[in-house]
Every structure is written in C-alpha cells, then in structure tokens.
Amino acid sequence: MTPPGPLLASIYGLYLLAVITPGPNTFIVTRLALSATRRHAARAVLGIALGNTVWLCVILGGVAVLLQQLPGGMRAVRYIGGLYLLYLGVRGLRSARAASRTSEAAPEKALVERALAGEEDRPFRSGLFSSLSNPNTMPFYLSILAPTVVPGIHLWVRVAAAAGIVMIAMAWYGTLAWGLSTGHVRRAYSRREPLIRQVLALVLVVYGIRLLVAG
C-alpha cells in the first residue's frame, strides 16, 4: 500500500496535468476572460469548483462506499480505470502529433462552438454546468481516486485528495482567468500547448498501466 504522502502527491500531479489541458472548463473561462471581464471569469471559476466538489462528494461519499461493499468492486474499478486512462493517453498522443502551429487560434474556435448562450450574464451557472455535464469527469475521478478507497486508507486521505483537487482547479482556472484577461499568459500558453498535451498523454499511459498492474 502506498504511503499517504506519495499517494496524494501522485493524485495532485496527475490532476494538475489534466486540468491544464484544454477542455470544456478551460473554454468557458477563456471565453469570459477574453470577451467579458475578469470578474465574470472568476465567477465561472467558482461554478467549476462547486461542480468538482459535487462530483468528488458523489464518488468518494457514495460510489466508492458502494463499491467497497461489492466483492471485487474496487478491483474492477482499478481495471476499468486503468484501461480508460490508457485510452485517454493513446488518444492524447495521437492528438498531440496532429497539432499544428495554428493551435493559437484553437481556443477561440472551440469557445465559439461550445459556448453556452448568454453565459456572460450567468457566468457562475455556466461554470457549474460545464463541470457537471462533462461525461469524462466521473470515470477520470474514479481512476485517479481508486487508490484512496482501498482498505487501510484513512478517511483524512480521501478528504485531503478531494480538497487538493478543488484547490488545484481553483488555482489553475483562477490563474487562467487573470492571465488571459491581460493577453501575455495566453500567448505563452498557446505556444506550449502541444508539449502539454504530450506530457499529459504519457502520464496517463503510465498511470493506467500502474493501475492495471496493481489491480
């Protein structure tokens, strides 16, 4: 069994790599930071944080407890989670290879395609909806949090894992909201986006194999 310190560090690191990769939440914050105000983007960040908190409470407070009562439930989660992370990693590597130098314009294009109608008037609701409606959230959280719901892991470790994830999300999206409203961080981030995707994909592959081996 992995000690709490390294276990939490691996969860935080994996989530950080995932959260800095462009996704629905990133597009919402980016759009508001560019087309509205920093305050609008900040409200969306609070909505995203609440959505993450809801998912974490459902998984760690309900789904995880239920799976612990089922014979082989957590082992099945580890296998499914490992395969899912491998799938995401392989898909991410393919996507990274196909990335071009024109990726700087990608966030704006994605924003236009995925933006919610009137989100400038309801930034908190937009962030909350974006977080709750992402179909990848539950399987991803189940994958990275599976090691915290095995017998012998204390409750405080699960609480620390969930609290750390929410804090990382708020810190990253808050930084994004602040930086993109000035324009400087956006240019630097866009130049490094392909590298970020490659690193994330490789980490997902490694972590997926680790879950399968430890299953």
Element (H, E) at 94: helix 73-98
Q: What is the spatial distance between Cα 108 and Cα 186, in angstroms, rounded to a whole number?
A: 11
Please give the distance of CA 28 from its chain centroid, rounded to a whole number: 14
Name the band, by pLDDT with cuts 50, 70 and 90, for residue 99: low
C-alpha to C-alpha distance for 52 and 137, rounded to whole angstroms? 8
Of the chain, the end-to-end C-alpha distance in Å amounts to 12
User: How many independent structural domains does the chain possess?
Assistant: 1
Structure tokens at 53: 């908190």
pLDDT at 80 over 90: no
Cα(9)–Cα(20) distance, integer angstroms: 17
Per-residue DSSP letter, 147: G
Q: 3-state DSSP call for residue 183? A: coil
- 141-166 pLDDT, tens digit per residue, is 877 887 787 777 888 988 999 999 99
**Residue 26 is part of which domain span?**
4-214
Least confident among 2-16, 96-110, 171-185, 200-214: 96-110
Confidence at 47, pLDDT banded by 50, 70, 90: very high
pLDDT of residue 160: 94
Give which of 86, 133, 106, 89 is closest to 191, Cα–Cα: 106
pTM: 0.66
